[in-house]
Amino acid sequence: MSQVKEKEIQELSDVTVRFAGDSGDGMQLTGMQFSDTTAWIGNDLNTLPDYPAEIRAPAGTLYGVSGFQLHFSSVDIHTPGDTPDVLVAMNPAALKKNLSELKKNGSLIVNKDAFDQKNLKLADYQTNPLEDGSLDGYEVHQVPISSLTANALEGLPISPKEVARCKNFFALGLMYWLYNRPLKNTEDWIQLKFKKNPEFIKANTLALQAGHKFGEMTEVFTTRYRVEPAKLPKGTYRNISGNEALSLGLLTASVKSGLPLFLGSYPITPASEILQYLSNYKNFGVKTVQAEDEIAGITSAIGASFTGHLAITTTSGPGLALKTESIGLAVMTELPIIVIDVQRGGPSTGLPTKTEQSDLLQAVYGRNGEAPVAVLAARTPTDCFYMAIEAARIALKYMTPVIFLTDGYLANGSEPWRIPHAKDLPKIDVKFRTEKEGFFPYLRDENLSRPWAIPGTPGLEHRIGGLEKAHITGNVSYDPDNHDKMVRIRAQKIKNIENDIPDLQVEGDTEGDLLVVGWGGTYGTLIEAVTQARAAGYKVSLAHFRYINPFPKNTSKVLGKFKKILIPEINLGQLSKIIRSEFLIPVEQFNLVRGLPFKVADIFEKITDILGGSNGK
């Protein structure tokens, strides 16, 4: 190896990187590999995959651009970063779509080879941005990624097309060099992934190494960066996405309750991965059914619940709409099921691959009749694990459907997870009714739950169904007073859950000028913005809901301690509506429905707007 000039190493506390390219360029894979390696060497991190619904849109087009943003650090972070410090653009379309997001003076790494006439035209560039001065103000690194990859792979028995597909590994290798990351993690991954194709192992590994070496040798880069490991609590960690954490949570609930897991589901973005993950765990007794439609997904789960399984269905907004009537059946039959809605942009098919919080009202109210259910929401990717267990606990204890909301951002985003020990996770008590004496299907216990008597239990043969049931006996009843009574019992049963969930926590002082109130996947952004505003002297705190129906018992008290309430949501104010109607208090809203997570700066600005200049400091 020839002697190269020692490069300067600069220390950073946090960096936001975005990889962008064609949907066929492997940007999601590149981003995930960078994330895994970054987590593995001990940085805190948070990711935001951002890809189109089309699988492989025509190459070079603007609508085919796929992006993956990650934020990593030596300090505690909660968001994927507002604006990237570095943008890796694999073609002109990727540059055009992402440049406006890049930080002023940010660093830009472009695949120079891709900036030909054809691609420039596809991206609607009249002139080549690499030559016309429009990138002045950015630190531009033009790297001929395609040709350097081709050079590195020369002589390998693979087609030019296959060579071209290795260029993301070149880019990844270069980024590993730039940010001082080891190649090993990705090299191991390549070995595993392509174990059936030794030539691809060779090609991708060579491309990765070539990218790394290029960083070292070239004059293009004069500085490389170091981000020290974050000071995380002691323990064993893994990097995990929301969907995977959720799947593990459901499995844990199955083990801890002693009930076999049944998942009836129909593939839908961004929830399909849960069905994919869980179908692997057959040695845990998991039964997965890829049903013929959304309704079959939930109704098969209702059948399995009747038969004593931990029954689950997973979906996104359009699927939740289809399952509505069946949720009503589970309300009426008082059977435990978990309905998981990984929210995406709506209405209708909407923005399948983007995130949104607009299914809240559907979850809380969207059924015919008085059909109350418990509604929970996870706040971070790793929280999906714990709230999945909570969803199971509540469903089983209260014999009720539980709607568990996550969203596209939580589902695909990942963060380091301090893995709990199986033995430290609490057991979930389940009792099936077996005594014949005094049995009625709609008897009530102290929580108003009815007994769970499953087929196969001698002497407890009984019928349940969607028709109104007489109190206690469970016979079909059209009696007016009975109906009124049953409607109230079902409502009270859900209300009783409030005695069994943690209080609403306030982060910051428990009284002050402004309480920011959030729910679900916006937690990271909100806590970061509130922390910044507090550091700037504002009297602002955060209360973030994970339990939405019922609300924690202390909610009214918490809200009452603040002069103003601000509810930011990625919808047009759905939690705001519920809070206003439940507590008869005025709230301010902040709503931005772009299919993307909020930016910390937006929330910070709104907080300072409301508290105004020095007012409130």
Partner 1 sequence: MANNVEVKTAKYTAKDFTSDQDVRWCPGCGDYSILAQVQRTFPEIIETPKENVVWVSGIGCSSRFPYYMDTYGIHGIHGRAPIIATGVKIANPELSVWVATGDGDLLSIGGNHFIHSCRKNIDIKVLLFNNRIYGLTKGQYSPTSEKGKVTKTTPYGSVDYPFNPLSLALGAEETFVSRTLDRNPKHLQEILKRAGKHKGMAFIEIYQNCNIFNDGAFFKLSEKETKDDSVLILEHGKPMVFGKDSSKGIKLDGAKPTIVDITNGKYSKDDLWVHDEFADSPAHAMILAHLDDNPDFPTPIGVFRQVIKETYDAGIARQIEQVTGKKGTGDLEKMLLGGNTWEVN
What residues numbered 247-266 form the site for partner 1, per CB under 8 A?
A: 248, 251-252, 255, 260, 262, 264
Cβ(381)–Cβ(414) below 8 Å: yes
CA gap 246, 263 in Å, rounded: 13
CB-wise, 467 or 585, nearer to partner 1?
467
**For partner 1, the closer CB: 146 or 252:** 252
Q: Which of 476, 536, 572, 585 binds partner 1 (CB under 8 A)?
A: 476
Q: Which of 56, 121, 195, 463 binds partner 1 (CB under 8 A)?
A: 463
Binding pattern for the stretch 302-321 against partner 1, x by CB under 8 A and - elsewhere: xxxxxxxx-x----------
Site residue total, partner 1 (CB under 8 A): 75
Q: Minimal distance in Å, beta carbon 70 to partner 1? A: 16
CB of 523 to partner 1, least distance (A): 22
Enter the tokens of residue 317: 């907004």
Residue 236 or 348 having the CB closest to partner 1:
236
CA dihedral (253, 259, 261, 264) in degrees, to 10, reads -120
Q: How far is the CB of 228 from partner 1 (least distance, A)?
A: 13
Nearer to partner 1, 328 or 345 (CB): 328
Please answer whether residues 287 and 263 qualify as being in contact, where contact means their C-beta atoms are separated by less than 8 angstroms. yes
Which residues lie below 8 Å from residue 473, measured CB to CB, with a gap of 6+? 440, 441, 442
Q: Which of residues 218-247 bind partner 1 (CB under 8 A)?
A: 229, 232-240
Closest by CA to 356, choosing from 369, 343, 347, 368, is 343
Is 41 an interacting residue with respect to partner 1 (CB under 8 A)?
A: yes
Whole-angstrom Cα distance, residue 579 to residue 16? 35
Rule CB under 8 A: say whether 462 interacts with partner 1: yes
> Which tokens sit at 203?
């090609």
Q: How far is the CB of 312 from partner 1 (least distance, A)?
A: 11
- SS3 letters for 42-70? CCEEEEEEECCCCCCCCCCCHHHEEEEEE
Residues 136-165 as x/- pattern, contact with partner 1 by CB under 8 A: ------------------------------
- Of 284-292, 399-407, 444-452, 555-563, which part binds partner 1 (CB under 8 A)? 284-292
Cβ proximity to partner 1: between 104 and 423 the closer is 423
194 binds partner 1, rule: CB under 8 A:
no
CB of 518 to partner 1, least distance (A): 28
Residues in 410-449 that interact with partner 1 by CB under 8 A: 418-423
Asked whether position 42 contacts partner 1 by CB under 8 A, the answer is: yes
- SS3 of residue 261 by DSSP: strand
Which is it for strands 374-377 and 547-549: parallel, antiparallel or unpaired?
Answer: antiparallel
**489-528 footprint of partner 1 as x/- string (CB under 8 A):** ----------------------------------------
Contact assessment for residue 148 and residue 170, using Cβ atoms and an 8 Å cutoff: yes
185 binds partner 1 (CB under 8 A): yes
Q: At what angle do helices 294-306 and 317-333 cross, to 10 degrees?
A: 30
Contact 351, 405 (CB under 8 A): no
Of 30, 269, 326, 555, the one binding partner 1 by CB under 8 A? 326
Specify the residue, 240 or 494, whose C-beta has the smaller distance to partner 1.
240
DSSP 346: -
Instruction: Give me the least distance between CB of 40 and partner 1, in Å please.
Output: 5
Query: What is the 3 state secondary structure string of 276-338?
Result: HHHCCCHHHCCEEEECCCHHHHHHHHHHHHHCCCEEEEEECHHHHHHHHHHHHHHHHHCCCEE
Which of 58, 182, 347, 459 binds partner 1 (CB under 8 A)? It is: 459
Among 79, 23, 99, smallest CA distance to 55 is for 23
The one segment of 76-84, 85-93, 374-382, 462-470 that binds partner 1 by CB under 8 A = 462-470
What DSSP designation does 553 have?
T
- Phi, psi of 377, deg, nearest 5: -145, 135
Residue 420 or 502: the one with the smaller Cβ distance to partner 1 is: 420
Per rule CB under 8 A, is residue 104 in the interface with partner 1? no
Q: Binding partner 1 by CB under 8 A: which of 285, 369, 502, 612?
A: 285
Report the distance separating Cα 95 and Cα 30, nearest Å. Answer: 17
98 forms beta bridges with none
Nearer to partner 1, 307 or 447 (CB): 307
Q: Which of 208, 278, 296, 312 binds partner 1 (CB under 8 A)?
A: 296
- In the list 137, 347, 465, 612, the residue contacting partner 1 (rule: CB under 8 A) is 465
| Binds partner 1 by CB under 8 A, chosen from 461, 480, 535, 584 | 461
Residue span binding partner 1 (CB under 8 A) among the ranges 139-147, 152-160, 456-464, 530-538: 456-464
Q: How far is the CB of 221 from partner 1 (least distance, A)?
A: 28
Instruction: With CA atoms as reference, report the closest residue to 60 among 104, 143, 121, 101.
Output: 121
**Contacts within 8 Å (CB) and 24+ apart, 228-231:** 228/11, 228/74, 229/41, 229/42, 229/43, 229/74, 230/42, 230/43, 230/44, 230/73, 230/74, 230/75, 230/76, 231/74
Q: At what angle do helices 167-178 and 145-152 cross, to 10 degrees?
A: 100
Q: Which of 464, 592, 593, 601 binds partner 1 (CB under 8 A)?
A: 464
Regarding 456 and contact with partner 1 (CB under 8 A), the answer is yes
Is 39 an interacting residue with respect to partner 1 (CB under 8 A)? Answer: yes
Q: How far apart are CA 134 and CA 115, in angstroms?
A: 14
- Under the binding rule (CB under 8 A), the answer on residue 325 touching partner 1 is yes
Closer to partner 1 by CB, 311 or 517: give it: 311
Residue 365, both tokens: 């109210």
Indicate the residue among 426 and 613 with the shorter CB distance to partner 1: 426
Question: At closest approach, how far in Å is the CB of 502 from partner 1?
Answer: 23
**Ranges within 527-566 binding partner 1 (CB under 8 A):** none
457 interacts with partner 1 by CB under 8 A:
yes
Position 292 contacts partner 1 (CB under 8 A): yes
Out of 29, 40, 218, 592, the only residue in the binding site for partner 1 (CB under 8 A) is 40
